[in-house]
A and B are shown apart, each in its own frame.
Chain A
Amino acid sequence: MTTDELTRRPALISSAIAAGGAVLAVVAGGYASPVGLGFGIAGAAFLALGFVRGTNSAIDFGSLLLFGGVLVGGYEGGSVELALLGTVGAVVAWDLGQSAIDLGEQLGREAETTRLEAVHVASSVIVGLLAVTVGYTMYVFAADGQPVAAVALLLAAAGLVTIGLGVRYRRSGELRRGGSQYP
């Protein structure tokens, strides 16, 4: 009388979009650099493994490789546009990959999750595109001749803010993590 066991596998729509992001990252990284392509393909392979097995760490590692490919491609090719798009692709692959696994574990593949996944995809892509727009605008307007001091200060600012937020993160993570209710 019971239904079959829930298939706790990654959700399909998110996985598909994540694969799309991975392809974008591979293309962006491999366009100008064979090393970048190698990184990208290795990353895509790990991502695929992550989706098949539903393991978060494979997704993490695969996306990191994808991003590495994008960086190598950006360094060798020097195309800011490709680097920006490739980064968005890698981050989307990572983000949606994790979301797909979470959704699969919590709700299973049978559940209707289209709307939820649509929101995920939209938020992830829109944030990426906004970042690209702002970053690219800054890049175009301040392309040449920024003082070294400004770059150093900006870098330090970014680092400190991230550390500050990261510390908040870890604190709250320890204090507020609700124990899992079910085995």
Chain B
Amino acid sequence: MNTRHLAIAIGILAFTLAIAVLGNVLTLGVGSWAIILVGVLTLLVALNTLTRRHGVRDHGTTPDPEHRYRVPAPGAELTDAVDQFRSRRNDLFVPSNRIHAGLREAAIAALTRFQGLTPAAANERVEDGSWTDDPYAAAFLSPSVDPPERSLRERVTDRFVRDVSFRDSVRRTGAAVAAIGYTGLGDGAPDRSESRIATYERDDTEEDEPVPRTTQTPVDGVVERSSRRTGHWFGVGVVALIAISIGTFTESAAVVMAGAVGIAYAGFGHAMEAPTPDISIERTLSEETPEPGDEIGVEVTITNESSRPLPDLRFVDGVPPGLAVSEGTARLGTALRPGESVTLEYTVAARRGRHVFDPALVFTRDLSRSSEKEFLVGSPTSITCEPVLRPITTSVPLRATAATFSGRLTTPEGGSGTQFHSVREYRKNDPLNRIDWNRHARTGELATLEFHEERAARVLVLVDARKANYLAPEPDAAHAVDRSVAAAGRIAATLLEDGDTVGLAAIGPLDKREEDGDDGPVEQCWLGPSSGHHHRAQFQNLLATHPQFSTLAPPKSRRWTPQLEQIYRRLSSDTQIILLTPLCDRVSSDIVQWLDARGYAVTVVSPDPTTDRTTGNQLARVARRIRRFDLQRTGVPVVDWPADQSIDEAFARINAGSGVSSRSGSTAGSTAGTDSRSDAGATTGSGAGTGTEAGGSP
């Protein structure tokens, strides 16, 4: 028994008495002072309640499953971007010191790479502040340079707002480093006068980002997630009471009756409870195995399976996080009679990968909308979208290492083939068709023509799908891993068509990111180099369904060395590797060096996810450029693949930029038996040495 029950009990008693008085069963001798007393009391209570109205209202919020899953841009956090330049780690723990040291190394790295200075000279430039024309940046990196006097306003702000001048200096220094790092890029240096705000850590704007999933956990059937009072009618009873009190004071029947109507609404608002829906969801897809880019029509049928009507049903479908709605909306508000069903239609744009629908989010309310329940309704539906293995229009810039089978990769070795290599003295048993008969007719000597040996290449396409590589210039654009996987398919298609043998492997966490039926442990992706139709189909299927190639970022990163060792154990040494990596962190170049050190001929194809919106983004772009540069200097060819180009264009540019394609006799001039690592590496490497864009526009 509490206040509430007591109040209601006394209320009912009073009501009974009133009816009795009205029906002349009972006579109470009270004067009009009683009415005034009750009126005043009611008014006080009402006002007290009204003041508490604020914040009572509550309703469930909905996520945005229409949106695609979002990934950060490289350098979203300035500290991380700066850390990429630092050669040593974990030696400084204070963030400001780390930024300081990192920026200093960044400046030196940029100066040595892009202005051809020796490290000592670069260090000196930084010391005396002559490396940049921005006095604040110069002073920030060198204790011997005094910063220019700041304006009074800035000094005053600095007093009150912590870190303003520090942030400003970091921003300016970052921009100055980026300006050096951008030399030679066509799009010009970033405009420093424009105020670009660097974000230090992932800041509050992240909070406003749409949530692209209804839930991450799989759900079977209808599961209640929460229940709440919406406060929809809260206050109406109180206002009505005030009206009745006023009406009683003023003896106005109209005012009292107006209040009475309000009381009726208050009762309505308290009468009901939100129902638990017994509904089923069925999704029909216009196509279950679409090609990337196709529009898939989704038809969701929601049926009320219970015998009770659902007066208020709000439905938000769990569109897969990897897909975006392209037409219509995946939401519906409706009422359902028993056994009735409604249909919701919308269109999603297919993307590569296996996409599983998340559970749908359902809100129910009672007829008066004053209570709300939130449910998740599971209905597993999936779309598997295999990439199209369309060959690239130009050849893949392979390195001149070959297997022992005949094929179309032109090698530096002389032998049988179609392309002239050299002439040598006739030896016994040389085939007749290779004897230089013209010379024999002219001089009577026997000589044998040597052609470039044409052999098949054995290639392993290795996709670097570590967590750190889920990066894109725009939050919902295709991220680097998506692009890498798409390119892997097309590279494989091209090579297979040319008669080469191609394998597939990946480095990256093995966690499953879409909840599927089967719970077996996931093996690292491995498909040994081979050829044929079956192999091609397997390749395509792996790219679409293997968890390592998922379009969703893994929950956490894993160690990469065991995975590389596994690949090393399985891979023969005459196989060359095409590594697809965005080169956006230190580890990516470590991987290249690891493979290079074990004798594999590595070609890096690097989708570029960098952008230049903030100082952090710009620094990340410079860091990537330096990394690419250093790799080329060690002789590893790097194909840079900008976000606005297709892989065809990127390869065409490399093939044109090096003047030769490895398939069209790039080794002309080099003698047989030289180190196979010659053509592409040397060409791009020399380009890098002079500070121009490697493989730049012709």
Contacts and interface: CB of A to CB of B under 8 A. Distances in A.
Interface of A: 1-3, 6, 11, 56-57, 60, 64, 67, 70-71, 74-75, 77-80, 82-84, 86-88, 91, 94-95, 98-99, 102-103, 105-108, 110-113, 115-120, 123, 127-128, 130-132, 134-136, 139, 142-143, 146-173, 176-183
Given A157-B12, A158-B241, A176-B227, A87 B59 contact: no
Contact of B22 (A132, A150, A152, A168): A150
A1 B28 CA distance: 76
B10 A160 contact: yes
A48 to B, nearest CB: 20
Given A128-B261, A157-B15, A67 B239 contact: yes
A146 B256 CA distance: 14
B228 A177 contact: yes
Contact of A2 (B11, B38, B68, B266): B68
A74 B254 contact: yes
Given A108-B329, A115-B333, A120-B369, A162 B4 contact: no
B52 to A, nearest CB: 8
Contacts of A171: 4
A164 to B, nearest CB: 4
B363 interface: yes
A83 B230 CA distance: 28
A119 B60 CA distance: 20
B110 to A, nearest CB: 36
A102 B7 contact: no
B8 A149 contact: no
Interface in B219-268: 225-241, 243-248, 250, 252-255, 257-258, 260-266, 268
Contacts of A115: 333-335, 342
Contact of A119 (B243, B260, B311, B476): B311
A151 B35 contact: yes
B63 interface: yes
Contacts of B682: none
B254 A167 contact: no
B268 A116 contact: no
Interface of B: 2-8, 10-15, 17-19, 21-22, 27-32, 34-35, 38-39, 41-42, 45, 49, 52-54, 56-64, 66-68, 207-208, 211, 225-241, 243-248, 250, 252-255, 257-258, 260-266, 268, 270, 311-314, 316, 324-329, 331-335, 342, 344, 349, 363, 367-369, 374, 476
Contact of A159 (B38, B239, B246): B38
B207 A183 contact: yes
For the residues of A in contact with B, the DSSP-based class is helix
B412 to A, nearest CB: 46
Residue from the set B12, B19, B22, B263 with the largest chain A CB neighbour count within 10 Å: B22
A111 B35 contact: no
Given A166-B49, A176-B229, A3 B8 contact: no
Given A79-B254, A115-B334, A176-B227, A165 B237 contact: yes
Nearest to A120: B369
Given A105-B59, A108-B329, A177-B229, A131 B265 contact: yes
A153 B17 contact: yes
A131 B254 contact: no
Nearest to B36: A152
Contacts of A151: 18, 35, 248
Identify the 8 closest CB pairs spanning chains A and B, nearest first. Answer: A178-B226, A160-B11, A74-B254, A131-B264, A113-B333, A153-B18, A164-B8, A116-B333
B11 A6 contact: no
Given A142-B22, A178-B228, A107 B314 contact: yes
A6 B261 CA distance: 37
A182 B61 contact: yes
B252 A161 contact: no
Contacts of B58: 173, 177
Contacts of B363: 106
Nearest to B2: A167
A148 B35 contact: yes
A153 B15 contact: yes
A61 to B, nearest CB: 11
Given A79-B254, A80-B254, A182-B63, A3 B325 contact: yes
Nearest to B246: A71
